[in-house]
Amino acid sequence: MKVELKIGLASCSIASGALEVWERAEQLLSEKKEEFKRRNLQVSLGKVGCIGMCHNEPILDVCYDGKRFTYGNVGTADVEQIINQHVLNGKPIEEKILISEKKEYDYFSKQKKIVLRNTGLIDPEQIEDYLQRDGYKALQKVLSELKPEEVIEEVKKSNLRGRGGAGFPTGTKWSFTHYAKGDTKYVICNADEGDPGAFMDRAVLEGDPHSVLEGMTIGAYAVGANRGFIYARAEYPLAVKRLRIAIRQAMDKGFLGKELMGSKFSFDIEIKEGAGAFVCGEETALMQSIEGKRGMPRPRPPFPAQKGLWGKPTNINNVETWANVPWILLHGAEEFAKQGTKLSGGTKVFALAGKIKRGGLVEVPIGTTLREIVFDIGGGIEGDKRFKAVQIGGPSGGCLPGDLLDTPVDYESLKSAGAIMGSGGMIVTDESTCMVDIARYFLDFTQKESCGKCTFCRIGTKRMLETLERITRGHGREEDLPLLRELAKQVKAGSLCGLGETAPNPVLTTLRYFKDEYDAHIKEERCPAGVCKELITYSITNRCVGCRRCVRACPVGAIRGEPKQIHEIDQELCIRCGACKEVCKFNAIEVR
């Protein structure tokens, strides 16, 4: 009997210890080779990408006879038990299994996998695995049966909108490039994923790179391009490595290169590694970077479809958009459009992070509510604390409160609430989060990442940040709030690119939905969440038993007291780091 052990080896799983699990499994398979032979077992070890359950990493699958048993939170000690009990003796360890034919995991109950259809199931470094799951069949269909105009029409009918943030109709975008005049045209995959808390593109590139290559090749055929670029973050070394492997394999199989699959169409893909500038996620800045120039946005029009890379017609889509394309062409536009809403077909991948029980990657039909994502899929708030807000759309998005949890996650609904879909970052906050500090954090990010070309973005965000920092230090003034709104208005109106235009969104939405927290900081010089250091005080209550754990933990020696006596904190020395509260076992540290 053939038995496959599959271990998730994406960046998230490796960070959780999966590489040590892999090495232990390799060692055990070598040691037990003779025993496997005696029992007529052919046991192999393989890698897969991220299946999305980051909260249960490392993950190990045991596969045989068409069955799959998924174990979560696997340590090196668990590997030997799984091999001895399950592989050798056929007795699954039920208490450690997350998914089997008898056991479902409700994390996936409301998900629909299209973009993530292969991640976590195939070896991303083996093209044969991709081919076994209908890989490159869509490309074969396109090259043998469809004209470029028919491909574009199919994408239009699917209602696929760009998943990079703006949500522009993909088929319409392709048609602009298709009909643009030019002897040379390009397609680009924007894989410059820079939003804090976002890791959707990384997971796809690490777990299923061929789906992106196939999507780009179909798009290139549709618009008439013979050369493509993947602009990937250099901070994603594993994704870049697997992309390079996938490109070589695709060329060896004839899916890239000259006269693909016996057709007259030729197409090549190159990788360009970005140097970490957030602004290079903006398409015109990205093209400048590929050309070897400083990544800075340029005015539009002309749009890239008319005058893009090196002045030639260029079509740019992000990783998730390209990964949808093969599925649409293989299964049909109508089937894709059944998912989602009337205006937006298909699914959306989100990186669910923050104060959430089950963080990871989720893929849901567009129109699924925030409540379903956070509570039904994500399992609710960590520690069963009170939900406060969800920051959606990254630093350009907005913070939406609890009374908007039933908002459908689609482009129009989020826009009316003051947020944006963005590329798919979704950070959940709880009652311990200060919304003024959240706004300050995201504005600090966008201000530092501003390319500086536009005065309003360069200086306007700086003045906004200074105002927020003053508020969080307890020096805010009542006139600061109208000032923030006015500055936000000017930054939005005066910025050249979408990143500058949306930079004020976290400030505007927190002002809209959490004005009471701003008022507490300004009028009462108090941080209700107990986060802003200069507005809080640590003190020791009579619950203290004098165990001295806090004394040993304090880095500045601010806590004094005799053993078995109530201690006290010297407020002049206290730096409000919270170390004492973290180590206190008697809940004797009070924060006000």
In the chain (592 residues long), the average pLDDT of successive 10-residue segments reads 96 96 96 92 96 96 95 96 95 94 90 97 97 98 97 98 89 97 96 89 97 98 98 95 98 97 96 92 95 92 95 97 98 95 94 95 96 96 94 89 95 91 90 95 93 92 96 95 96 90 94 96 93 92 95 95 94 93 94 86
Q: DSSP code of 125? A: T
Same domain, 279 and 417: no
Instruction: Tell me: do 180 and 280 sit in the same domain.
Output: yes
* C-alpha to C-alpha distance for 238 and 228, rounded to whole angstroms: 21
Do 90 and 197 reside in the same domain of the chain? no
Do the domain assignments include residue 273?
yes
Instruction: Say yes or no: 548 and 495 in one domain.
Output: no
- The Cα-based distances of 195 to 16, 55, 187, 512, 568 in angstroms read 22, 20, 23, 23, 42
Rounded Cα gap, residues 78 and 81, in angstroms: 5
529 belongs to a structural domain: no
Q: Quote the DSSP letter at residue 303.
A: P
Q: Name the residue with tokens 């963080």.
A: 359
Do residues 174 and 225 touch, judged by C-beta distance below 8 A?
A: no
Q: Are 14 and 82 in contact (CB under 8 A)?
A: no
| CB distance 352 to 373 below 8 Å | yes
Please check whether residues 518 and 543 belong to one and the same domain: no
Q: How far apart are CA 368 and CA 110, in angstroms?
A: 9
Q: Give the CATH number of the domain where residue 392 resides.
A: 3.10.20.600
Return phi, psi of residue 13, to 5°.
-70, -35
Examine residue 137 and state whether it is found in any structural domain, yes or no: yes
Entry pTM: 0.93
In this structure, the answer to whether residues 183 and 303 fall within a common structural domain is: yes
The answer on 353 and 250 residing in a single domain is: no
Q: Indicate the helix (H) or strand (E) that contains 80.
A: helix 76-81
162's tokens: 């760009």
Residue 418 vs residues 265, 493, 500: alpha-carbon distances, Å = 45, 16, 16
Which pLDDT belongs to residue 166? 78
Domain check: are 561 and 512 in the same one? no
Please report, for the domain that includes residue 450, its CATH number: 1.20.1440.230
Decide if 122 is inside a domain: no
Residue 337 — φ and ψ, nearest 5°?
-70, -20
pLDDT score recorded for residue 526: 92
How many folded domains does the chain comprise? 5
Q: What is the CATH number of the domain that holds 543?
A: 3.30.70.20
Closest by CA to 127, choosing from 240, 214, 51, is 214
If asked whether residues 52 and 98 sit together in one domain, one would say yes
Domain with 182 in it: what CATH number? Answer: 3.40.50.11540
- Beta-carbon-side half-sphere exposure of residue 54 (alpha carbons within 13 Å): 22
443 and 370 in a common domain: no
Q: In what order do the strands lie in the sheet with 97-99?
A: 42-48, 2-8, 60-64, 67-71, 97-99
Contact 385, 431 (CB under 8 A): yes
Domain boundary among 430, 462, 494: 430
> Quick one: 70 and 16 in the same domain?
yes
Q: Measured between alpha carbons, how far is 360 from 70 in angstroms, rounded to an integer?
A: 16
H or E segment to which residue 539 belongs: strand 538-540
Query: Which pLDDT value is given to residue 293?
Result: 94
Q: What is the 3-state secondary structure (H, E, C) of 361-401?
A: EEEEECCCEHHHHHHHHCCCEHHHCCEEEEEECHHHCEEEE
Q: Residue 467's pLDDT is what?
A: 97
Other Cβ atoms within 10 Å of 466 Cβ, number: 11
Last residue of a domain, one of 430, 463, 493: 430
Question: Which tokens sit at 418?
Answer: 């003051």
Cα separation, 536 vs 108, whole angstroms: 41
Q: Which of 430, 452, 477 is the last residue of a domain?
A: 430
| 100 within a domain of the structure (yes/no) | yes
Query: Is the domain of 543 the same as that of 485?
Result: no
In a domain, 365, yes or no: yes
Distances (CA, A) of 546 to 526, 551, 558: 29, 9, 15
Q: 505-513 and 480-494 helices cross at what angle (nearest 10)?
A: 140
Distance of alpha carbon 71 from the chain centroid: 24
In a domain, residue 119? The reply is no
Residue 325: inside a domain, yes or no? yes
Residue 461: domain span: 435-523
**CATH code of the domain in which 10 resides:** 3.40.30.10
